[in-house]
Amino acid sequence: MKPTVADVPRLLTTTAELEELAASAVAAGRIALDTEFVWERTYRPMLGVVQIATDDTALVLDARALPSLEPLFPLLRDAAFPVVIHGGGQDLEIFAALMGEPIRGVFDTQVAAAFLGYGLQIGLSPLMERVMKVRIPKDQTYTDWTKRPLKPEQLVYAREDVVHLLPLYDQLRGDLERRGRLDWVHEEQRRFEDPERWEPVPDDECYTYVKGWQRHGARELAVLRALAAWRERAARRANIRPNFVTNDIVLVTLAGRPVESIEELRQVRGLSAGTVDRHGRSLLEALQEGITCPREAWPKAPDRVRREAAPSGLIALLRASVQAVAEEEEIAPEVIASARDLEALVAAATSRRKGEPPHMPLVEGWRGALVGKMLLGLARGELAVRYDPAKRAVVSEPVEVGAEPER
């Protein structure tokens, strides 16, 4: 069924309208924010629309028509001004690039939901159904938000993604406060405000994102660094994804077996004739740059020291302990600790003196209080865990020094 005129939200296309919205948002004291963009092939996401909701209204901004979104920036920089999003990592990345700094005051309802037992990355639609008993249609998910004019159905869809976020925020915030977890969520979401999180990777560091780069030595890495930087520049100029210039396998292969001519390039598996025609000369120049790089400027090869394997069963024991706590507290276990977190804790616990605690998120802040200290004690043999039938829970207890193990 097509939406009626009354259903279709207002589309803002002028700076004056945006300034009016920003002023009303400041007066309202908080906003919900979402974006719709296209990013299948372009180097950067192509922003189509931005949706803003206050407690009184929900509007759609035409990012293709507006010369700038700058009137919004002062309130997005204010850490005391709540900006509610859902699963908004890419939204935050887009605005960090536009503003030159991160949005402050972010509250991500997807993150909050994970602390209330709704799962690790629950979508907005199922979360709204479970918490607010509201169903959000998702029929315009793969529409092209850069084409104009926008259809009424698109505008209605865009509005629906933000109009319910503030009531959802109120509900989740209240639940978090009742369970004493609001500070946990704030601690977690402060990571969104770290400028380093959103800084673009320098061209000469892009090689560390090439799959398989660790297999090369320092000399080959000098070549790979030059190739990866060349690919990044070429992609940026053409406004396409780097892998559309050439894939990682080609870069890793050329770093290990460089070639010297266009004809040799044509024999490289994975390099199309069109790529060689367009980029052959500049690719050879990048190869030469890497080959002639002086030894003192070579990148440092990754350490090849083989780590000692974790004691048999220890990781499984820690994972089970995390799972038990997660079920008891109704928190997604992946929010508490990932497999990499557990491996890092075991490595630190088995290689450090007992009086020297490791510095890592798992043993600090809310994680440290909830499970980190227990996991560290288990890994060091200072604690034992057992199931307590009376409490119907897994509990940990100190291990008596010098006690003989049960047989």
Q: Residues 379, 344: one domain?
A: yes
Single-letter amino acid, residue 260: E
Q: Residues 54, 177: one domain?
A: yes
Record the tokens describing residue 177, joined without a space. Answer: 């406060």
The Cα–Cα gap between 254 and 268 comes to 8
Question: At which of 198, 229, 258 does a domain end?
Answer: 198
If you count DSSP H runs as helices and E runs as strands, how many of each does the chain have, helices first?
19, 8
The Cα–Cα gap between 255 and 234 comes to 18
CATH of the domain at 119: 3.30.420.10
Which residues form the domain of 335? 314-398
Q: What is the pTM of this model?
A: 0.87
Query: Could you tell me the pLDDT band of residue 395, with boundaries at 50, 70 and 90?
Result: confident
**Which of 237-251, 346-360, 388-402 is modeled with the greatest confidence?**
237-251
Answer yes or no: is pLDDT of 353 > 80.
no
Cβ pair 9, 21 in contact under 8 A: no
Across 70-84, 305-319, 328-342, least confident range = 305-319
The mean predicted confidence, pLDDT, of the chain is 91
Record the tokens describing residue 6, joined without a space. Answer: 């009354």
Average pLDDT of span 387-395: 78
Closest to 94 in 3D by CA, of 148, 30, 47, 42? 47
Record the tokens describing residue 10, joined without a space. Answer: 């207002």
CATH of the domain at 262: 1.10.150.80
- pLDDT at residue number 312: 73
Asked, for residue 77, whether it belongs to a domain, the answer is yes
Record the tokens describing residue 188, joined without a space. Answer: 């977690």
Q: Residues 179, 36: one domain?
A: yes
pLDDT digits (tens, 9 = 90+) for 60-87: 999 999 999 999 999 999 999 999 999 9
Query: Could you tell me the pLDDT band of residue 6, with boundaries at 50, 70 and 90?
Result: low
CA distances from 347 to 308, 336, 342, 351 (A): 8, 18, 9, 6
Record the tokens describing residue 300, joined without a space. Answer: 């440092």
Asked, for residue 246, whether it belongs to a domain, the answer is yes
Query: Could you tell me the pLDDT band of residue 1, with boundaries at 50, 70 and 90?
Result: very low
- pLDDT at residue number 361: 84
Q: What is the DSSP string of 206-232?
A: GGGGSTTGGGS-HHHHHHHHHHHHHHH
Asked, for residue 405, whether it belongs to a domain, the answer is no
Q: Residues 43, 57: one domain?
A: yes
Q: How many Cβ atoms sit within 10 Å of the Cβ of residue 23?
A: 12
Question: What is the domain count for the chain?
Answer: 3
Q: Residues 244, 326: one domain?
A: no
- Greater confidence (328 vs 252) lies with 252
Bridging pattern class, strands 31-38 and 83-85: parallel
Answer yes or no: is pLDDT of 309 > 90.
no
